[in-house]
Amino acid sequence: MAASMLKNMIVGQNNIFRVIGYSFPHKKVCLNHYRCCTSIVHGNDNVRTEQDVKPRRPRVCRTTVSSPAHQTKDQIGQFYTVPEPIAKKVFTRGWLNPKLLQLFDTFNETSIMVRKPALEIIDLMKSANYKDPVIKYVIYGPQGTGKSTTLAHVAHYALEEDFMIIHVPWPKHIYQFPATYQESTYKEDRHDTLVESLKWMNSFRKLNQHHLEKLKTTKKCVWTKKDSSLEGTPITDLIEMGLDREKHIPDIVGMIIREVKKQAADLGLKVLVVVDGVNSLFQETTVKVAPGEFRPSSQIGLVQHFMKLLQNDWAGGAVLLTVDRNASKDDKRESDLPKYLLGKEGFAVLDPFIPFQTELYSEEEFHSCIEYFKERRWLQGEKGQTQRGIQQIRFLSGRNPYFVERACSAW
Amino acid sequence: MAAIRSLSHLLRQGLHLNAATLIPKTAPICQTRCMAQKGMTKPHPTLDLDALETTVTDMQSGKYKRKTVRYAESDQSTVLTHDQIVRKFIVLIMKGGNKDTARRIMDKTMEEIKRRQVREFHRATESQKLQIITDPRKIFNQAVNNLKPVLLVTSVKRGGIAYQVPVPCPEKRQLFEAMKIIKAALAEKTNSRIPFHEKLATIIMDAAEFKGKAMDRKIEILKNCERNRAYAHFK
Amino acid sequence: MACNMRVCQFNNIFSSTPTLKRVGTCVPRRSVRTVPRKIGIAHKLQLKDERGDQFKPEKKPLLRDILAPPVGPGIIEETRKSKPPLEKVDIAKTLTRADVIGLMQESPTSAERMSNDKDWTKVWPTAATFNWTKFPVSVTQGVKVMKRDNPRMFEKDVSLELMKIPNFLHLTDAHLDKHCNALQKYLSKWPSELSSSLAIAQHFPVEIITEDYVRSSPSIREPKSRIVTLKVRVGSLQLNARARDKLIRLAKDRYNAKTDLLTIVGDRCPRRKQNEDYVKYLLTALYMECRKVQEWEEDVKEEDVTKYRWDLSSSRKQLKKIKPDLQDTAEEIQQYKEVLAELHETESQELYDKYRESVIKVLGIKAASSGS
């Protein structure tokens, strides 16, 4: 009775509730001060009273099963540590959010939470027939719920199973810098981006050095009047040549992809194509061609090459994609669902695919995360360890994984 | 029931409750702004949620007394990370009324301090770990305490000449002086472009260990006092 | 309150009847037109009024004078035929002020006297200016805006606004019943088949709308009156799906999907008859044209169709590449087709769960662990 009185009194005040503003496109958290009378707050389902949140059984937040192939439902919500050689390859810049990488550096270990979408994908990949045409796995979900992390988790599994990994970090970066555009000598209506092609080639080589030795070209290429490479040239040689003569790099990239597609099934090679933000492959660039007209990204050479990997006409691999709101243009960011972000064209190219949604933390996962941060000293102080403190974090973050970390950073 | 009815009656009249009369050390609940002018000289409200909740139970049992209390500021909150001293500091580094910017900088600074300490913690040996403090608030408090000057110089005019006279710094002022020292240290120009929050984090962490630019400033102040100790009797 | 009402009534009687003769000194003082404005001067100038008497400045009339004007040697003659002449009684002598007030209160207006059963058609037979004495309800017109306004200024007896606006008190149901009954003998019976608006729409699907305009101007012509609008429900044309789709595409903006109405507006000709003919011609042409099947209609592609069609979709092509042996009628594809049709319209999380199930079925994938 008196509680409701107090509630009415406080809720009726001027400054009681400041809404937490998430400025989503820039991932800034405006954690404004607010007065959270936790037992008295009205109408917010994120905050529960002390009576609602029962004291949890102490749950282990870590697991020693560090191989994704062996992880099961039991490990969902627990953190596992990625072994260092794999962490260096896959849990690095380009794969993951810089804030997360900074956290790995701070904690002196690379640990991520085992979550449902990753396990489901790994499950399907285990039983897939690599003689059949490639299966496409599309991850979508709200910001901060772990799309890129899922990619990295599955790539960990792939590395352990000795997959070849073709990673396209953020396609927008490919065509973002019009200064590097160059008209292609090989194909009309194509523009090449030298710098980005070089970058990609280097990272590809670094990741898949031991696989490249098996790959050889199947057709003769004429680079210039004097240069040509015959059938049967190993891909590593082509790459060496490309590093010497940078002009040919975009076409070499095309060559690599063509050969991979053709020979993957025959060589017994398993390929994992990872694209983070695939919806930006189906959009316009910001380069003006005519007043009001922008160059479509399909005219960029690298984009054309990567699009070929999304087709159904090859076998011996899996295609792992993320559909991200931020990869779209500003005016197309209303929803996180695949069809909206991909557009008609994108959906037609990818269909049929298997969709996976990354969600906010469940209660178990949230508390596990809190335990982990406590253990790692990211969430500290006597106040941070209390039930009330955790309630406040839960309210501030809304159980969104990214924002849980951000909320804990203030404690 | 009668007590609760009269409570609502009180609210309607715009009077305010004070839990201070129930439990000696707790303070009243947040109140309306209509008593703005009267409220300025009154005791501060509590931001302690435990105290607020005990007030509820005490209201139920009918033990309370009317007392006016000062309203809470808009940048005060009951979030457990809220610190009054940090709040004062935010106001000090604020420019042009951009409290939001100042607060963000302070948040980033706290995070930076924590990050550096936690990083060090995880790379340290077991014995070293015991000595590393990872709570940025503790470090900030320590830094501020370390920078509190015991003496200050004031200008005293005697016979047409203004003398710099050392004077004991009152406790209230010490906090402000300490923060002022940090602010002055921040204003120093450096060649490389470091983000503001990183600069501030460095200053605070150094001050907590009795070193750094802020510490130098404090020592300079004390030295100045030493130099002018002959004039101490002027005040 | 009653006092004031009566005042007005008496004023009306006295000041508004043109046939009242001015006899003797029984002239309401207000109506003397030759009164100069500066009354003081008039007196000094020894002005005389039309009767040759010494002019006396107008005094504010007293209630008792208005109620009982001083009866002089002359007699008030009333020439109105409808009412009997007033009694030639020296009212001032026989009645006191209180009596008069009592009289006023006792004799109500016809509105006040009207019983509930009164036939309204007799009270207000034709269109007439609002007469507050005949209208039995108290109505007001207007809203008090300023504090100083008299709160009674909107009452029906005081307000002139009610008289300015048109009233339709001559067109009540009772009136209309009488009109209809009078016209009955000139009319034929309404056909029984047209008993509801649905039936009317069914038998008369095409609606032609024209507008006539009345102006107060030197010319009686109105160019807008040539416009003819034709409305027809496309459903009533009984076309098959293909023809209906074609009609809608040809009609473009003229078709409203929500109401299924095709609206053709004809205004390009100078005369209404011509526009009417043109509009009917257009409907005929549309109808005939959409029923024709042309060769290029076979080449329809996915982009051309509004509704989702599996046989034209890119998903079908993709599936053919992956599983060339799978037939369109195969069981695994059914759910896939349904979900794609739904996805064409809207998107939702549940739909994607369904989509996932259907794709897994179609591709024939199985999870490694049974529990997934």
ipTM computed for the complex? 0.80
Last residue of a domain, one of C48, C77, C106: C106
Mean pLDDT of all residues in A214-218? 84
pLDDT score for B65: 62
- Co-location of B62 and B147 in the same domain: no
The Cα–Cα gap between B121 and B110 comes to 16
pLDDT score for A240: 87
Q: Which residues contact B98 (CB under 8 A, 6 or more apart)?
A: none
Interface membership of B2 toward A (CB under 8 Å):
no
Q: Name which of A3, A102, A377 is nearest B134 (Cβ-Cβ).
A: A377
- Co-location of B45 and B106 in the same domain: no
Q: Which residues contact A101 (CB under 8 A, 6 or more apart)?
A: A91, A92, A93
Structural domain contains residue B75: no
Domain count, chain C: 4
Last residue of a domain, one of C187, C221, C252: C187
Structural domain contains residue B76: no
Query: CA dihedral defined by A272, A273, A274, A279, rounded to 10 degrees?
Result: -150
pLDDT class for A168, splitting at 50, 70, 90? very high
Structural domain contains residue C368: no
Do B and C share at least 3 CB pairs under 8 Å? no
Q: Mind listing the pLDDT tens digit for each residue in C214-257?
A: 888 888 889 999 999 999 999 999 999 999 999 999 999 999 99
The Cα–Cα gap between A353 and C36 comes to 102
Of A3-17, A261-275, B169-183, C224-238, the poorest mean pLDDT is in: A3-17
- Co-location of C98 and C116 in the same domain: no
Mean pLDDT of all residues in A188-211? 88
pLDDT score for A399: 95
HSE of A176, CA atoms in CB hemisphere, 13 A: 10
Query: A153 to chain C, minimum CA–CA distance in Å?
Result: 17
Using a CB-CB cut-off of 8 Å, the residues of chain C touching A351 are 314-315, 318, 340
Do the chains contact at C366 and A354, CB–CB below 8 Å?
no
Do the chains contact at C369 and A313, CB–CB below 8 Å?
no
User: What percent of chain B stands above pLDDT 90?
Assistant: 57
The pair of three-digit structure tokens given for residue A53, joined into one six-digit string: 């949140």
Topology, domain A117-357: Rossmann fold (3.40.50)
- Co-location of C98 and C115 in the same domain: no
Structural domain contains residue B212: yes
Which A positions 95-114 lie with beta carbon below 8 A of chain C? none
- Co-location of B40 and B96 in the same domain: no
pLDDT at A191 over 90: no
pLDDT score for C21: 45
Provide the residue range defining the domain that includes B105.
83-235
Do the chains contact at A337 and C347, CB–CB below 8 Å?
yes
Do A and B share at least 3 CB pairs under 8 Å? yes
Structural domain contains residue C370: no
Q: Which of C135, C138, C132, C137 is nearest to C163 (CA)?
A: C132
pLDDT score for C46: 59
pLDDT score for C149: 83
Q: Name which of A127, A313, A340 is nearest C366 (Cβ-Cβ).
A: A127
- Co-location of B41 and B105 in the same domain: no
Mean pLDDT of all residues in C155-166? 87
pLDDT class for A298, splitting at 50, 70, 90? confident
- Co-location of B125 and B166 in the same domain: yes
Structural domain contains residue B146: yes
- Co-location of B62 and B105 in the same domain: no
- Co-location of B130 and B234 in the same domain: yes
Name which residue leads in pLDDT, C111 or A179.
C111
Q: Which residues contact B61 (CB under 8 A, 6 or more apart)?
A: none
Structural domain contains residue C174: yes
The Cα–Cα gap between B109 and B201 comes to 5
The Cα–Cα gap between C230 and C372 comes to 62
| Region(s) of chain A under CATH 3.40.50 | 117-357
Domain count, chain B: 2
Last residue of a domain, one of C298, C321, C344: C298
Interface membership of A383 toward B (CB under 8 Å):
yes
Interface membership of A267 toward B (CB under 8 Å):
no
The Cα–Cα gap between A176 and A162 comes to 33
- How do the residues of chain A divide into helix, strand and coil, expressed in percent and rounded to 5? 45, 15, 35
pLDDT class for C114, splitting at 50, 70, 90? confident
pLDDT at A37 over 80: no
The Cα–Cα gap between C354 and C253 comes to 37
pLDDT class for C2, splitting at 50, 70, 90? very low
pLDDT score for C101: 73
The Cα–Cα gap between C332 and A210 comes to 41
Mean pLDDT of all residues in C117-133? 92
Q: Mind listing the pLDDT tens digit for each residue in C6-51?
A: 443 444 444 444 444 444 444 445 544 554 455 555 455 555 666 6
Using a CB-CB cut-off of 8 Å, the residues of chain B touching A35 are 30, 72, 77-78
Query: A403 to chain B, minimum CA–CA distance in Å?
Result: 14
Those chains having 3 or more beta-carbon pairs within 8 angstroms of chain A are B, C
Do the chains contact at C371 and A73, CB–CB below 8 Å?
yes
Exposure string for A293-328, b = 16+ CB within 10 A, e = fewer: eebbbbbbbbbbbbbebbbbebbbbbbbbbbbbbbb
Structural domain contains residue C303: no
The Cα–Cα gap between C220 and A64 comes to 97
Provide the residue range defining the domain that includes C249.
197-298
Structural domain contains residue B214: yes
Q: Which amino acid is at A241?
A: M
Instruction: Give chain B's residues under pLDDT 70.
Output: 1-41, 63-67, 235
Q: What is the pTM of this model?
A: 0.68
Burial class (CB in 10 A: 0-12, 13-18, 19+), A119: buried
Mutate to test the interface with A, among C315, C333, C356 (most CBs of A within 10 A): C356
- Co-location of C92 and C131 in the same domain: no
Q: Give the CATH number, domain containing residue B159.
A: 1.10.455.10
The Cα–Cα gap between C357 and C335 comes to 9
- Co-location of C68 and C35 in the same domain: yes
Structural domain contains residue C179: yes
- Co-location of B97 and B37 in the same domain: no
pLDDT class for C104, splitting at 50, 70, 90? low
The Cα–Cα gap between C101 and B164 comes to 100
Those chains having 3 or more beta-carbon pairs within 8 angstroms of chain B are A
Which A positions 267-326 lie with beta carbon below 8 A of chain C? 312-313
Last residue of a domain, one of B12, B37, B66: B66
Judge contact between A143 and A325, C-beta under 8 A: yes
pLDDT score for C80: 47
Interface membership of B129 toward A (CB under 8 Å):
no
- Co-location of B144 and B97 in the same domain: yes
pLDDT class for A295, splitting at 50, 70, 90? confident
- Co-location of B101 and B131 in the same domain: yes
Residue C317 φ then ψ, to 5° = -60, -45
- Co-location of C258 and C315 in the same domain: no
pLDDT class for C156, splitting at 50, 70, 90? confident
